[in-house]
Structure 1
């Protein structure tokens, strides 16, 4: 689909993720046709769905305009048989990589304040990341027009400061297996191990379902043909300042155990040495385990 650069629209392909409730299949089909954006809805039987909208910015704005007006229509319809007099605002929840939220908030909240003032929409960036992800929810509410203006400004910020590092996308529960991106490679978590994530995730998942409990990678697992059972282990060392070691270890070691579990790597933290302001961390495992463990430690 060729798209012309619309006035004021940047002809760049951008992906915006949105959290929604409920099924709106026929509506989505119509929106795809009219906006020219690719609109994808996450599968699964969860109350929340992730709607991914990809396309040139003008197609994205068109899709958002349609969504905002559709929501407003739903609110109006639901009010026709209620006694409430004031109409609640339309609310959309975007899902944004946490590494981009800083630019969205701006120094001392300056950027988000500017967006609120210039669009008239309410914008809230969640303080915490969504479960098992490095994304945060950004809630926008207001009139459909305010929301569209607000989405335009957010798109500009996201284009100007692309996400840094690896992004773990939020997947609504009950999701089967989280997928983690580290070192340019995707991993899925099966039991306690991170496994390189092939495109046939469902196939892998079915295999995993047939074979529980999951055998450690050190033993050959016939259920995963093509996965080298025991890649050579290697060791990597990191030094971490003493004042940061607490947030990596967590209360009674909860965080470090979580990182060990998720990465499948062995992690040893050296005792503090006299007069040194740093602690040595040794990570042992396959290169994949190590890169994942490093990523999780840096994320802390």
Structure 2
């Protein structure tokens, strides 16, 4: 579809909601808010950022289409700059694509996907970007996330086309839209190697000395064990709660495709060492077996450290998936 509808000055007020990790949002805001202030002034768009203390934040862009896409382009350029600067000391030969998530009412996703996936296929082919529409709604909302990966220009073109579909009279949101609101990081707390960690996104953040807040941490730890968002390692002994869990040692095996093992190991083993350090678990990656497309990964340690290591590995795999899909 020709995005000239928007380029030609379609006189509407538009709202685009972006879902970003805290680190990305920090970059968009800039020191003392200078970066986002410049974006607001130069684009003329209203840019609102949901409150902090959440692993994820919502950035809302509102205003006339020309202002919106000026602001959107500036955000994409900033993300592209961050990728370039992170590669300065990198040995990687290929530059990862810019990856962005926008949030849309679930009731409009059908029009966006099209019959038999024809519309989304057309958008992918005409813009050159990779587009994935999440199958499930975001927690406590009627919205779904759309992940877009590619070059800055292809992403901008892709979002323009998505907006055209959403502005068409044939696909207004049905019923009341319940917007997704990221929850504050009252994150799961887990013990590994005698240290308490709060799990935020794909990061494990070491917590303060646990002795001063031991009862609270023990309670959180027990809750995390019961309602864990990440798979627990099987263990016959079960959890005793508190620090006792660190004393038990067991092993857990995972199978990871050969083409994804690199993102787990990282440059010169940096990523796997980081996961070992965060979780307190031992992680061994078997040598490739001829004829097999998978590698065996053995995680050894306390059940708590195994589950944290497994969670961090899975988070790393899922964050890499959008990047790999674009190649």
Q: Retained in 2: the 8 A contact 1:11–1:58? A: no
Residue equivalent to 2:123: 115
C-alpha displacement of 1:28: 1.5
| Matches of 2:125 and 2:10, distance apart in 1 | 23
Instruction: Select the residue among 62, 70, 76 that pairs with 2:78.
Output: 70
Per-residue Cα deviation, 1:1-26 (whole angstroms, up to 9, x for no partner): xxxx9852312001110011222323
More helix by share: 2
Q: Does the 8 Å CA contact 1:44/1:175 hold for their aligned counterparts?
A: no
Q: 1:150 aligns with which of 151, 154, 158?
A: 158
Aligned residue number for residue 198 of structure 1: none
Spell out structure 1 runs of 4+ moving beyond 4 A. Answer: none
CA contact (8 A) 2:54 2:182 kept: yes
Counterpart check, 1:48 vs 2:86: no
Are 2:13 and 1:13 equivalent residues in the alignment? yes
Tell me whether 1:106 sits opposite 2:114 in the alignment.
yes
Specify every segment of 5 or more residues in structure 1 that has no aligned partner in the other structure, as ranges.
177-300
Determine which structure has greater relative contact order: mean sequence separation of CA pairs < 8 Å that are 6+ residues apart, divided by chain length: 2
Question: 1: CA distance between counterparts of 2:135 and 2:6?
Answer: 35
| 1:164 corresponds to | 174
Q: Which residue of 2 aligns with 1:269?
A: none
Name stretches of at least 5 consecutive residues in structure 2 with no aligned partner: 187-327
Cα distance in 2, alignment partners of residues 53 and 175 from structure 1: 24
Aligned mates of 1:105, 1:133 — CA distance in 2: 20
Helix, strand or coil at the partner of 2:38: helix
Q: Which moved more, 1:6-15 or 1:146-155?
A: 6-15
- d(CA) in 2 for partners of 1:66 and 1:116? 22
Distance in 1 (alpha carbons) for counterparts of 2:60 and 2:158:
18
Provide closer, same or farther for how the CA distance between residues 7 and 97 of structure 1 changes in structure 2, counting only shifts above 3 A.
closer
Paired residues, what number?
172
Secondary structure of residue in 1 paired with 2:109: helix
Distance in 2, Cα, partners of 1:59 & 1:126: 28
CA shift digits 1:243-280 (9 cap, x unpaired): xxxxxxxxxxxxxxxxxxxxxxxxxxxxxxxxxxxxxx
1:1-300 map, 5 Å:
7-22=7-22, 23=26, 24-25=28-29, 26-160=34-168, 161-174=171-184
8 Å Cα contact 1:61/1:151 also seen in 2 = no
Report the counterpart of residue 304 of structure 2 in structure 1. none
Q: Is the 8 A contact 1:49 1:172 kept in 2?
A: yes
Mark the CA change 1:79 to 1:13 in structure 2 (over 3 Å): closer, same or farther. same
Q: 1:112 Cα shift? A: 0.5
- The separation in 2 between residues aligned to 1:158 and 1:175, in whole angstroms, is 32
Q: Secondary structure at the match of 1:138?
A: strand
Answer whether contact 2:166 2:172 (CA < 8 A) is retained.
Answer: yes
2:185 and 2:65 map into 1 onto residues whose CA distance is 30
Aligned to 1:186: none
Give the SS at the match of 2:18.
strand
Post-superposition offset of 1:164: 1.0
Checking the alignment, whether the CA contact within 8 Å between 1:119 and 1:150 is kept in structure 2 is yes
Q: TM-score, normalized by length of structure 2?
A: 0.51
